[in-house]
């Protein structure tokens, strides 16, 4: 059973904010929300993760709803190089736990 639901694809104009939604209605209390992206033919790249508070780093911001059933990844100023498949993953704490990638959202950034 999929733990997360994401739109299949999204388009964004270069320079605009890209807001990628993710639903994870069955998330449990000890599960983090992780975001990765994968540019064509490369390994997945870690972006950001959070438990219940909003998080921001040099790449993106993560907004998690108060009930934790959904989240949004925000790329504040998308560039052509941000074109990739974006994966939202929920995962229990513990470094030995595997990541389960769904089908993700194909983000296409255009001029």
Partner 1 sequence: DVKVTQSSRYLVKRTGEKVFLECVQDMDHENMFWYRQDPGLGLRLIYFSYDVKMKEKGDIPEGYSVSREKKERFSLILESASTNQTSMYLCASAGLAGFQETQYFGPGTRLLVL
Q: Is 59 helix (H, G, I), strand (E, B) or coil?
A: coil
Q: Between 49 and 108, whose beta carbon lies closer to partner 1?
A: 49
Q: How many CB atoms lie within 10 A of CB 69?
A: 13
Residues making contact with partner 1 (CB under 8 A): 34, 41-46, 49, 93-103
Residue 11 to residue 55: CA distance in whole angstroms: 24
Q: How far is the CB of 16 from partner 1 (least distance, A)?
A: 28
Residue 47 to residue 56: CA distance in whole angstroms: 10
Q: Between 7 and 44, whose beta carbon lies closer to partner 1?
A: 44
Q: Between 95 and 111, whose beta carbon lies closer to partner 1?
A: 95
Q: How far is the CB of 26 from partner 1 (least distance, A)?
A: 18
How would you class 18 by CB atoms within 10 Å of its CB: exposed for 0-12, middle for 13-18, buried for 19 or more? buried
Q: How far is the CB of 42 from partner 1 (least distance, A)?
A: 6
């Amino acid at each position: 059973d999929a733990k997360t639901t994401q739109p299949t694809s999204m388009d964004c104009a270069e320079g605009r904010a890209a807001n990628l939604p993710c639903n994870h209605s069955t998330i449990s209390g000890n599960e983090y929300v992780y975001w990765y992206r994968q540019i064509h033919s490369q390994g997945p790249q870690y972006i950001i993760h959070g438990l219940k508070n909003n998080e921001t780093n040099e790449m993106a911001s993560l907004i998690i709803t108060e009930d934790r059933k959904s989240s949004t990844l925000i790329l504040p100023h998308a560039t052509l190089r941000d074109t990739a498949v974006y994966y939202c993953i929920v995962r229990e704490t513990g470094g030995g736990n595997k990541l389960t990638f769904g089908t993700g959202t194909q983000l296409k950034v255009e001029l």
